[in-house]
Amino acid sequence: MNAATSAVDLFTPYELGSLHLKNRMVMAPLTRSRAEEGNVPSRHAATYYSQRAGAGLIVTEATQAGAGGQGYIATPGMHSDDQVRGWKKVTDAVHRAGGLIFMQLWHVGRISHPDFRGGELPVAPSAIAPRGVQTYTAQGLKDIPAPRALDAGEIPGIVREFRAAGENAKAAGFDGVEVHGANGYLLDQFLESGTNQRTDSYGGSIENRARLLFEVVEDLLTVWDRERIGVRLSPGGSFNDMCDANPRETWGYVAKRMADTKLGYLHLIEPTPAQGEHATPDLSARFFRPLFPGALMVAGGYTFERGNAVLKAGLADLVTFGRLFLANPDLVERFRRGAPLNEPNPDTFYGGGAEGYIDYLTLGEAKAA
């Protein structure tokens, strides 16, 4: 470790291409299920995000690139004019507050229900149902049925949806986009052998299974500079009934391809302390750092102390915080002062209005109350 690395902490600025991040704390994408009619962002969304503009970078909640990519109730989209106008209010508010914001683009694949798709089955690389997985619909929790395998001829349409959403994100004033390739959703379903049993050019080898992810990225590169595109991955994650036969081979290949493509950043969901930091095989930042020399962003239950430690060790460049930002709009200032943190209220994580969304107090507000 050199002196420059050891001096880095969460408050050290970072240059992400041409973007100047005022610190290395990133607000993680957090599904809040508060979108309104037409899956337009909540009327409170501009306030919610701008309250947290102290982050070096904000990544929005997962946002479906196309109408067919929805899998949960009241999640926002980026495929209509009304949605673009709604998101423009958010980016304007964040920029006025001195922040930077990327949009996370999403397709849930098999983690959906016919209620969201006009009665049609969800789609996936292969017709394999996720075991024990349910989703929230307008009628409450429902079991997810076995999906329909996408025909090869349908896949270019998925790629076009991501590109169109990327164009809409630019029109709405975002600073960049993040491709959601994690957590058992469509792009992850193609990547991992447990959910992809195709025998065509999108299945079999890791080169084939990664084809859709990189077709999406390559199409977005016609819209955005490469430094303005990130990808989120969850190597070794089991959420949404995911598994892969050779995870180090799979994720090592993807990381190297991302490095060759020189994308803005790799957003890596690591095992949390509760899952075991010494998981086998090791798919932490320690494995990925030599493979991806670009900006490496890590997530996984990070605290102030662990965030500083991973930066000082040179294993990551940026650290994301989820629930801590949810409950503490002024998280950066609280960390800087060593101040107590608000506790998040799980009862208000999903759905509802202002409560548990924009009413968490800052230090100044708490003092005045």
Give the dihedral sign, CA 73/75/79/83.
positive
Angle made by CA atoms 55, 56, 59, in degrees to the nearest 5: 75
CA distance 199 to 204: 6
Q: Which residues of 252-279 are buried (b: 16+ CB within 10 A; e: fewer)?
A: bbbbebbbeeebbbbbbbbbeeeeeeee
Q: Which residues are catalytic?
A: 185
DSSP for residue 292:
-
Q: Is 58 helix (H, G, I), strand (E, B) or coil?
A: strand
Strands (E), the chain: 14-16, 19-21, 25-27, 57-59, 63-64, 101-106, 123-124, 134-137, 140-143, 148-149, 176-180, 229-233, 265-269, 295-299, 318-321
Residue 212, CA distances (Å) to 92, 124, 191, 203 in order? 32, 12, 8, 10
Among 260, 252, 336, 264, which Cα is nearest to 296's?
264
Backbone angles phi, psi at 209, to 5 degrees: -65, -25
